[in-house]
Amino acid sequence: MQTYPQSNYANSSKSSNVSETEVKTMLFYCREGYESDLAAELEHHSATQQLYGYSQLVPNSAIVKYHFYKALTKQQQTKSFPWQDLIFARQRLCVLGDLEFTDTQDRIGSIIEYMSQFTDIEANGLGDVFVEHADNEKGKEVAKFCKKFTVPLRQALRKKGWLTKKSHTGLPYLHLFLSDSSACVIAMSHSKNRHSQRLGITRLKFPPEAPSRSTLKLDEAIQLFMSSAQQSNYLQKGMTAVDLGACPGGWTFQLVSRGMRVEAIDNGAMDEGLMATGLVKYQAADGFKYQPIDGHVDWLVCDMIEKPEKVSVLITQWLTKRQATSSIFNLKLPMKQRFQTVNELLAEMSSKLSEHQILHQMQAKHLYHDRDEVTVIVRSGAHLI
């Protein structure tokens, strides 16, 4: 059943006195080529949350739409399908409508007029606006147009009094998703249930002293999985870590930059600059056999290219033997049934930790800087406070 009205601006079926934003469709962004993995994940959440519908995807479009059979309540709009729980979704948006620009001379006018149907947006206001496109080759062609469009749109929204002067993270954001210059999807994201940056991409600067680009993966994981207060509490000067598969040292670099002491394990060569800090102890050893020098570290990080089944068992052993309090690690993805494989491995890990009475929090994401892998964090003990 096609639930969302295909509401073309010129012949929209919405009446002009609609006061509540009706949402029957969500729009999710993902890495190009991962649409079916995200769709499998959405089907899974749909079943567990008993919010039924169906997903719509085009391979390599870098987006997936999920159409619900029933309109979502306000609470479901803000809380269901939590972005934090979704592994393959970069962004989670509630769709207000599809708008075709019949008047290409005044696209902004069309948007403003379309949006004036939703009086609750007018009443509550918008904290920011992003004009977006897919993160793929086709999207790159639209990117220039999106950029040109943003400033005048912001001005028009401010003139109407709908958009705050400065970005306000506590309010919904407006997202216009353009597949070309002739039409757009109008959508909203909700505070605490979205990626806060444009396109759902964490933009990071590569530190020139870092020995490998992999450093950005751990940096992104830290930024995404922990608040700034948690980062400064749990990754402090004097804390300890083991880095399995450490060479040349991009992940170790992130930990050392925070003043931590690291045991770096790999058969390869470690970056000399990192070794000169005096904070790194290097051992040429097999990461699957290594034991921590003092029996326990605050963090175990692992970026070894190995079967995900082997890595998840290894991390579970460290945590259940209380050799590490928390861990950030990568699971390399199989070719098929990627969501199902990861979901099963994480469920298995979680149940093993619970068997050992280890209270824990787990989150996994297909990060912007990940390739065919996902990054997982498991926090326990003092790192849960």
Ligand X SMILES: C[S@@+](CC[C@H](N)C(=O)[O-])C[C@H]1O[C@@H](n2cnc3c(N)ncnc32)[C@H](O)[C@@H]1O
Q: Which residues bind ligand X (CB under 6 A)?
A: 211-212, 214-215, 244-251, 265-268, 286-288, 303-306
CA atoms of 45 and 50, how far apart (whole Å) = 8
What's the min distance (Å) between Cβ of 225 and ligand X?
17
* Residues sharing a CB contact under 8 Å with residue 220, sequence separation 6 or more, in sequence order: 202, 204, 367, 368, 369, 375
Which one, 9 or 318, has the nearer CB to ligand X? Answer: 318
Q: Which is nearer to ligand X, 80 or 202 (CB)?
A: 202
CA distance 252 to 260: 9
In this structure, how many other beta carbons lie within 10 angstroms of the beta carbon of residue 281?
13
As measured in angstroms, the least distance from the Cβ of 37 to ligand X is: 21
Q: How far is the CB of 185 from ligand X (least distance, A)?
A: 37
- Torsion angle of alpha carbons 361, 366, 372, 378, nearest 10°? -10
Q: What is the DSSP string of 245-301?
A: T-TT-HHHHHHHHTT-EEEEE-SSPPPHHHHTTS-EEEE---TTT---TTS-EEEEE
Say which of 79, 160, 332, 352 is annotated catalytic: 332
Nearer to ligand X, 174 or 247 (CB): 247
Using Cβ positions, the residue closest to ligand X within the complex turns out to be 250
Q: Which is nearer to ligand X, 51 or 324 (CB)?
A: 324
Q: How far is the CB of 306 from ligand X (least distance, A)?
A: 6
User: From the CB of 257, what's the least distance to ligand X, in Å?
Assistant: 13
Closer to ligand X by CB, 37 or 266: give it.
Answer: 266
Q: How far is CA 35 from CA 66, 93, 122, 266, 272, in A?
A: 12, 16, 34, 34, 41
CA distance 372 to 179: 25
Residue 27 vs 315, nearer CB to ligand X: 315
Alpha-carbon distance of 385 to 363, in angstroms, equals 16
DSSP state of 332: E
**How far is it, in rounded angstroms, from Cα 245 to Cα 336?**
25
Q: Minimum distance from CB of 32 to ligand X (Å)?
A: 22
Q: 309 vs 245, 260, 332, 353, CA distance in Å?
A: 16, 29, 9, 16
Residue closer to ligand X (CB basis): 283 or 343: 283
Can you state the percent helix, strand and coil of the chain, rounding each to 5? 35, 25, 45
Residue 321's CB is within 10 A of a number of other CB atoms, namely 13
E strands along the chain, which residues?
25-29, 53-57, 63-68, 91-100, 128-132, 173-180, 183-189, 240-244, 261-265, 280-283, 297-302, 324-332, 360-365, 373-380
Give the nearer residue to ligand X in terms of CB position, either 97 or 248: 248
332 is catalytic: yes
Smallest distance from the beta carbon of 288 to ligand X, in angstroms? 5
Structure-token match 């696209």, residue found: 107
CB of 66 to ligand X, least distance (A): 33
Which residues are the active-site residues?
A: 332
